[in-house]
Structure 1
Amino acid sequence: MNMRTRLTLPFVLMVLTLTIALSAPIAAQQATEYGPATGTLVIVGGGSMAGTGIMERFIELGGGAEEGRFVVVPTAGGNYDREGDLRVFDEDQVLASWRERGVMNVSMLHTHDAKLADTEAFSADLAQATAVWFNGGRQWNIVDSYAGTRTYDLFHAVLERGGVIGGSSAGATIQGEYLVRGATEGSQIVMTDEENHQLGFEFLRKSAIDQHINARMRWDDIIPVIEQQPHLLGIGLSEGTAIIVTGDTFEVMGKWKVAVHDNTRTYQPWQKPYFVLAPGDAYDMKARRTVKLGDGTTPRR
């Protein structure tokens, strides 16, 4: 081995070691299977959130009322009114509750036009946003306006920067992979034949999310979804109840219960094919097991 080879070999080994060390955090970020590698999701089952602390938690995750940059999307409320006329949202009305909470930097983002949503000018606020909130309504309206656009990409970019995305009711369902109740004919249809309304925005991958399950007796409604698409994890949310998703784990927050449709479990013939989590419980979606109970204890496996 000549002098040049002896000098080169340690250098190559050093470079390889450094490359592996630097790439380790990136690999760790990419290792999530369900939730985002960075950032947080706040997914709420609709209804009143008064006294739950959910909105306070969302604002905190978004950088705080004074420092965060919030974008509110009311689009699920409808692109057209009952007469078929284009709906116009009053920005002051949409943002009133946020300003009452002391949020200093908050803007509304809405269009019915996917071509407009694909422009840099329309999506400018998202480029710097630390938090995005989707209001309730019908989830397919959100798909019609933003799927496949620059705006859609920038929603995901908020998470990539470590921000937070939240939403309630339709704003919860849109966060999943499968779009539960995506039919334009009515919300009573759980699985639509409309191909353009079957996919959500996949902030929470491999999931199907339903809402209002306690108030509207929807506990069993996503059973057929999981039967037909067994790779999905079904999540049914009660009103005033949220899951806070970090990586592949979520914690239940709020007033009531969350139904988890996990088809990797064995259920007895008399049991429904799901189990229920309470506020404070934490669940590992990748491992498919409850990792913490509301009283802080670890459940027996």
Structure 2
Amino acid sequence: MRLLNPLLTLLLTTTASAFPSLSTPHATPNCTNTTTVGPENGHLVIIGGNLQSESIYNRIITLAGGPNASIIVIPTAGGEPTYGQNFSTAAAFRKFGAQNVNVVHTYDPVVADTEEFVKLLERADAVFFAGGRQWRLVDAYAGTKAEKAFQKVLDRGGVIAGSSAGASIMGSFLARGDTVGNDIMIGDHTVGFGYLKNSAIDQHVLVRNRHFDMFKILEVEPKLLGLAIDEDTAVVVQGNEMEVIGRTYVLVYDGGWWSRDGSGGSEGVPEKKFYFLMEGDRYDLGERKVVENEVDGGNDY
């Protein structure tokens, strides 16, 4: 259990900060999934920030069950003093046809651990984590009834989606989780919600020139799968199946190499390999390889 009492919480946080290589990035205490990297039930939609595309919103709505599905928006990562029901992401879902959208928020883990707070979550078909700073989601919800309720959305076949900070929180290792600044890859918060097991997830990757930042984590935790997702681009995950949607690219750091034409490698920096996937590409998270016969029909580009 990650929240026991203030003294123990302080001790654990201080220890993880001082010795990041001794942290527990694979911990997923509320995850009921045991056989696949992604959720056995339900879907993840993991977005690299600056979500604009109607097609991505529509995919979330469809996976949740259609326009009448209950969609809960969690704006907590943003850090504003309060949030109302017209928060921008909630308004966007309504604009694109969702009829039952509610904003649910607290910074207080005591509140998040109450039956009253999780009432709407217990009936939710989808939860969407908006952007900001991912450590705020940990501080507010880790170890509470709310975090358990998030997991139950997946368990009953629903959707967990998120953009920017809401993308990174889905990994088991929390990339850029430092309270000092978002340029610190291994910070004072290193445990995400773990909906995608054995992974670290970065975002805004191309527009912010973050191509090589993932290696700071992989040097410490080399067994992790690294994903870095560009803006207005997403991966949709169910079980071990991952599909790329959106307008730009997803960078994959799995220790291997893949190219669309079957050529090349990363000569000169063999220890720093990554490659690009784009809309329509599919990836097997269990095997850690691109599903080529579904991606490109035999490299026929």
Structures share fold, TM-score greater than 0.5: yes
Change (3 A) 1:111 1:124: same
Is residue 297 of structure 2 the alignment partner of residue 297 of structure 1? yes
Find the counterpart in structure 1 of residue 288 from structure 2: 288
Find the counterpart in structure 1 of residue 87 from structure 2: 93
CA displacement 1:218-274 (0-9 Å, x = unmatched): 011011211210121000001111001011120111111111111256954345421
Q: 1:143 aligns with which of 120, 138, 142?
A: 138
Change (3 A) 1:298 1:167: farther
Q: 2:153 aligns with which of 150, 158, 161?
A: 158
Letter in 2 for 1:88: T
Q: Distance in 1 between matches of 2:295 and 2:221?
A: 34
TM-score by length of 1: 0.81
Find the counterpart in structure 1 of residue 105 from structure 2: 110
The Cα shift of 1:88 comes to: 0.9
CA contact (8 A) 1:291 1:298 kept: no
Residue segments in structure 1 that go unaligned for 5+ positions in a row: 1-28, 82-86
Q: 1:189 aligns with which of 184, 193, 215?
A: 184
What secondary structure, in the 3-state scheme, does the structure 1 residue paired with 2:171 have? coil
CA contact (8 A) 1:42 1:58 kept: yes
Q: Distance in 1 between matches of 2:84 and 2:256?
A: 46
Find the counterpart in structure 2 of residue 119 from structure 1: 114
TM-score by length of 2: 0.81
Q: Distance in 1 between matches of 2:143 and 2:266?
A: 39
Find the counterpart in structure 2 of residue 38 from structure 1: 41
CA contact (8 A) 1:49 1:254 kept: no
The structure that has the greater radius of gyration is 1
The Cα shift of 1:98 comes to: 2.1
Is residue 215 of structure 2 the alignment partner of residue 223 of structure 1? yes
Change (3 A) 1:298 1:250: farther
Identity of aligned residues (%): 42
CA displacement 1:125-184 (0-9 Å, x = unmatched): 111111000100110111110000010011011000010110100010001011000001
What secondary structure, in the 3-state scheme, does the structure 2 residue paired with 1:156 have? helix
Find the counterpart in structure 1 of residue 229 from structure 2: 237
Is residue 165 of structure 2 the alignment partner of residue 170 of structure 1? yes
Residue segments in structure 2 that go unaligned for 5+ positions in a row: 1-31, 258-264
- The CA RMSD measured in Å over matched residues stands at 2.0
Letter in 2 for 1:152: E
Greater Cα shift, 273-282 or 128-137:
273-282
Greater Cα shift, 258-267 or 212-221:
258-267
Is residue 300 of structure 2 the alignment partner of residue 269 of structure 1? no
Letter in 2 for 1:70: I
CA contact (8 A) 2:87 2:103 kept: no
Q: What are the equivalent positions in structure 2 for 1:249-268 lying under 5 Å apart?
A: 249-263=241-255, 268=267
CA displacement 1:58-107 (0-9 Å, x = unmatched): 110011112x11100000101xx5xxxxx111222343222222311111
What secondary structure, in the 3-state scheme, does the structure 2 residue paired with 1:297 have? coil
Is residue 57 of structure 2 the alignment partner of residue 55 of structure 1? yes
Q: What are the equivalent positions in structure 2 for 1:67-86 lying under 5 Å apart?
A: 68-78=69-79
Change (3 A) 1:212 1:293: farther
What secondary structure, in the 3-state scheme, does the structure 2 residue paired with 1:186 have? coil
Task: Name the count of aligned residue pairs.
Answer: 260
Q: 1:205 aligns with which of 192, 197, 206?
A: 197
